[in-house]
């Protein structure tokens, strides 16, 4: 049985899934972190993701130490990880992660990176192996499905990659953790998506003191 194709992201109340982009090398270099633009980016990103940082599962998965909160937010974060057999991401997300992730990258599954850059697979401790796909999003998804088995394929990001999969009708379901923050500017989740092609049905709502988790199935109009 083939699993679902889904994405799960945190979004600001005014529709942004990330602050305005800053150069990756600046955001994750000692020198760049002194740049006020980078500091503002990090502050806004941290505010957006504040619901996840205290969760026990998040801390365990990123080796941040023992302990952490348990409850609905933690259960949802863990369930998202456990349903994922394979992840697909774009080149920009991978480039940032290569600089920021710990040696034991937090996926522990195969990851297919959509890119124009040719590169041999990159294996990390803990079961994560990155495979680089040079012939488009459909090819990346086909390869991901082959190894996912009956588990789901997660489109991990970034926004442009998610938008391409949505606009191509390749997403079955998605979840948004709606955070009570306002960005004003940044990277919108649904930019460049043709709304005339999509029909959404809300299937689940889970509210906590930190965020509201919204789940939708995706159909065609």
Query: How does residue 146 score in pLDDT terms, banded at 50, 70 and 90?
Result: very high
pLDDT at 26: 76
Q: Which CATH class is domain 5-19+84-220?
A: alpha beta
- For residue 129, is pLDDT > 90? yes
User: Is-contact 2 147, C-beta < 8 A?
Assistant: no
What percent of the chain shows pLDDT beyond 70? Answer: 100
Strands 129-133 and 122-123: antiparallel
pLDDT at 164: 96
Question: Comparing C-alpha atoms, which of 7, 10, 16, 8 is closest to residue 170?
Answer: 7
- Average pLDDT, stretch 97-108? 90
Q: Per-residue DSSP letters for 177-219?
A: EEES---SSSEESSTT--GGGEEEEEEEEEE-SS-EEEEEEEE
Q: For the whole prediction, is pTM greater than 0.85?
A: yes
What are the domain boundaries of the chain? Answer: 5-19+84-220
């Amino acid at each position: 049985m083939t699993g679902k194709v889904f994405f799960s992201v945190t979004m600001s109340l005014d529709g942004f899934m990330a602050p305005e982009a800053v150069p990756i090398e600046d955001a994750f270099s000692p020198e760049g972190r002194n740049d006020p633009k980078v500091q503002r980016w990090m502050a806004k990103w941290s505010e957006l993701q504040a619901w996840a940082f205290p969760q026990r599962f998040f801390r365990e998965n990123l080796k941040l130490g023992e302990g952490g909160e348990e409850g609905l937010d933690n259960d949802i974060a863990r369930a998202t990880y456990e349903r994922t057999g394979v992840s697909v991401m774009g080149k920009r997300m991978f480039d940032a992660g290569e600089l920021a992730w710990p040696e034991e990258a937090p996926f522990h599954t195969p990851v297919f990176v959509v890119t124009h850059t040719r590169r041999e697979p990159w294996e990390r401790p803990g079961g994560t192996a990155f495979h680089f796909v040079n012939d488009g999003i459909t090819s990346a998804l086909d390869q991901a499905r082959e190894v996912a088995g009956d588990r789901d394929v997660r489109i991990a990001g970034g926004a442009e990659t998610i938008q391409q999969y949505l606009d191509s009708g390749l997403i079955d379901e998605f979840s948004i953790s709606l955070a009570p923050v306002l960005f004003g500017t940044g990277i919108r989740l649904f930019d460049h998506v043709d709304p005339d092609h999509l029909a959404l049905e809300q299937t689940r709502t889970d509210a906590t003191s930190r965020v509201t988790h919204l789940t939708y199935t995706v159909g065609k109009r």
